[in-house]
Amino acid sequence: MTRRRAISPFESVYFLDLGAAGLPLYDMPAYVESLVRGRIDPALMARALGLLTERHPLLRSEVVHGDAGLLLRVRDRVQPPLTLLDGIDEPFAELINSRPDWTESMLHAWLLTDGERSQVVLGVHHGVADGRSAFAVLDEFWRYYTALAAGADPAPERRDVLPEAIDTRLADAFPEGEIDALADALAQAASIDTKPATLPTEGMGRPDRPVESRRFVVDRLEFDPRTTESVVAAARAQGVTVNSLVTGLLLTAVRAQLAPETGPLPMVCGHGVDLRTRLTPELPLSTVLNCVTGLQTALAVSHDDRLDAVGREAADQIAGALARRDPERFLLAALRAGARGIALPVPVVSYGISNVGRIPAHPVPEDVHLLRFGGTANAPGMPPKIVAAGFGGRLLLQNEYDSWTYGPEQMARLREALRGSVEDLAR
């Protein structure tokens, strides 16, 4: 229980620049945002941001050097920077390509305005929060702001104790010999040169590629509540989760763009797993902490495979992996291999899925109407991914990709394939 602790091996990839040999996660931001109709008061917004940092010590932490490496240290007070911008669409597209100055604060905020529309954007350092806890922060922000707008004076409990890192919490969950053996197996597998099928890098070297401030693309497909309920009903009828059904939608859409046109291709879908739900007792979403790791699901997919069959196979594999506690075991084994000086290759996936789950609509003041909310996180070298989420009863399938790597034409084809598959399910 401390205001100062070491940055854990799991967290370190977000705080150390490992260059081309590491995952592209150094100083990576996660952005969450709300688009509303109505005016937002910057002064009240700044007060709500200050309340967030009072309650969450990681949001007012700073990185310092210790005798054994980098440390996180809680500061007495941090006021997150708030930037006001005119316009919404263009400024937001540039904003999500930016990198905040994390020495000021682990939380930054922006208020974008265009007539009667306002967009609140929160950016949090990915080393201290994953996407799911970032959305919890967004919800908490709006609760404070709505209370302040109504004339209340919320006083959240001030917390000064840094939460333990997720790998520290899991350190004693498995026998040492089991993790050592798995680390050895990962090291041996690293020498085997087998890679899954991936989309061609049509964006590489294009003379018409976007400027750096528009490099990362967020392409939203949002479906109305009726279509959303139809997708949920289809998943239930097939006995799979919506996440597994989306896996089938995605991999069949990607396979349709790959040669050869006949026969199966090995594909790997990268899934995000929230390890806070794997703890006993579970760690609440309201705990600001990065708890998300990856799970690779390998399948052989042909052009004529039905998406429901691919989704069912993915569901079976995911269920088996979770039952074996693969996400926790593989995370600890990879960290163990790294501690031994074994450089494991960066995992290659055909496509990624960030399953945010169902998020209820957050509160807003009486004179404000919530239009939509969402989030994004990207960095150079990351594979493309789909964010699958239910926001306020509406299904969002959001394609996020690096336009310097992947061409707009192929991503447009993928988008329309996903749209068509979802609409077919809703018929």
Main-chain phi, psi angles of 114, to 5 degrees: -150, 95
The pLDDT of 50-78, averaged and rounded, is: 96
Between CA 281 and CA 227 the distance in angstroms is 35
142 and 268: one domain? no
pLDDT attached to residue 406: 95
pLDDT at 111 over 90: yes
The CATH number linked to 281 is 3.30.559.30
Question: Do 289 and 323 belong to one domain?
Answer: yes
Both 79 and 141 in one domain: the answer is: yes
> To which residue do tokens 């990709």 refer?
401
Say if 353 falls within a structural domain.
yes
At 163, the amino acid letter reads: P
**Residue 191 scores a pLDDT above 80:** no
| Tens-place pLDDT, residues 216-253 | 999 999 999 999 999 999 999 999 999 999 999 999 99
154 domain-assigned = no
27 has a pLDDT exceeding 60: yes
Q: Which of 149, 180, 204 is the last residue of a domain?
A: 149
How far, in whole angstroms, is CA 61 from its chain's centroid?
A: 21
β-bridge partners, 387: 354, 398
Residues 419, 297 share a domain: yes
For residues 170 and 325, give the distance between their C-alpha atoms in angstroms, rounded to a whole number: 11
Are 242 and 266 within 8 A, CB to CB? no
Which of 186-195, 341-350, 369-378 has the weakest average pLDDT? 186-195
Q: What is the domain extent for residue 32?
A: 4-149
Say yes or no: 137 and 193 in one domain. Answer: no
Q: How far apart are CA 122 and CA 150, in angstroms?
A: 22
pLDDT at 17: 86
Q: Say if residue 18's pLDDT is above 80.
A: no
Separation of CA 314 from chain center: 20
Whether 143 and 202 share a structural domain? no
Which tokens go with 22?
């590491």
Q: Domain check: are 106 and 193 in the same one? A: no
DSSP H/E element including 372:
strand 369-376
CATH code (residue 39) = 3.30.559.10
Q: Distance (Å, rounded) from C-alpha 44 to C-alpha 24? A: 35
How far is it, in rounded angstroms, from Cα 376 to Cα 359?
15
The token duo for 18 is: 């490992």
Question: Does residue 1 carry a pLDDT above 60?
Answer: no
User: For residue 222, with 0-12 CB atoms within 10 Å meaning exposed, 13-18 middle and 19 or more buried, which class applies?
Assistant: middle
Task: Kindly give, in sequence order, each residue whose CB lies less than 8 Å from that of residue 370, ignoring residues fewer than 6 positions away.
Answer: 34, 35, 36, 361, 362, 364, 392
pLDDT digit string, tens, across residues 136-184: 999 999 999 999 999 999 999 999 999 999 999 999 999 999 999 999 9
Last residue of a domain, one of 97, 117, 149: 149
Statement to judge: residues 82 and 188 lie in one domain: no
Half-sphere exposure of 421 (CA within 13 A, CB side): 24
Residue of 313, 350, 330, 334 whose CA lies nearest to 195: 350
Q: What percent of the chain has pLDDT over 90?
A: 89
User: In 1-86, which ranges are E strands?
Assistant: 4-6, 29-37, 61-66, 69-74, 82-86
Average pLDDT value for residue range 314-328: 96
- 111 domain-assigned: yes
* Predicted pLDDT of residue 21: 59
pLDDT at 34: 98
Number of domains in the chain: 2
Q: What is the pLDDT of residue 4?
A: 95
Please tell me the predicted confidence (pLDDT) of residue 11.
97
Q: 65-93 burial by CB neighbour count: b if 16+ within 10 A, else e? A: eeeeeebbbbeeebebbbeebeebeebbb
User: In the predicted model, is pLDDT for residue 22 greater than 70?
Assistant: no
Confidence of residue 20 (pLDDT cuts 50, 70, 90): low
Q: How confident is the model at residue 261 (pLDDT cuts 50, 70, 90)?
A: confident
Q: pLDDT category, 189, cuts 50, 70, 90? A: confident
Q: Does 158 fall in a domain? A: no
Parallel, antiparallel or unpaired: strands 4-6 and 69-74: antiparallel
Crossing angle of helices 225-238 and 307-323, rounded to 10° = 70
- Bridge-partner residues for 61, per DSSP? 74
What's the half-sphere exposure (Cβ side, CA atoms, 13 Å) at 232? 15
73 beta partners:
4, 62
Give residue 61's pLDDT: 97
* Helical (H) or strand (E) element with 356: strand 351-359
Q: Are residues 176 and 118 in the same domain?
A: no
Is position 295 within any domain?
yes
Question: Position of tokens 């039952």?
Answer: 323
Give the single-character DSSP code of 145: H
Give the CA count within 13 Å in the CB-facing half-sphere of 127: 29
Quote the CA–CA distance of 144 and 91 in Å, as a whole number.
25
**Whole-number Å distance between alpha carbons of 93 and 99:** 13
